[in-house]
Amino acid sequence: MLFKVLESALEPEALEAVMTAAERLREEGREQGRAEGRAAVLLKVLAKRFAPLSAEAIARVQASSPDELDRIAERLLSATSLDELFG
């Protein structure tokens, strides 16, 4: 429905720009959702291994970028403490 309204109201170039922006926003949303899911799984594993987790540790994981989450996950394999994990 919205597409039809936009299609009838906009020039082809403007419609293409709007659709490109919408696709970019959709992809950013997907990336954010994937990162949030990875953080949630990592927090579950951390809680099993290093319970209880401090509010600081939880916040640190939740604020991590996807690359940082990967590094934390890799260090989790050998870390013996949260200090070692985040150090």
74 has pLDDT over 90: yes
Confidence of residue 78 (pLDDT cuts 50, 70, 90): very high
Domain that holds residue 61: 2-86
Percent of the chain with pLDDT over 70: 91
Give residue 47's pLDDT.
96
Give residue 41's pLDDT.
96
Token representation of residue 35: 């990162």
12 has pLDDT over 70: yes
pTM reported for the whole predicted model: 0.71
How many separate domains does the chain show?
Answer: 1
Token representation of residue 75: 């260090």
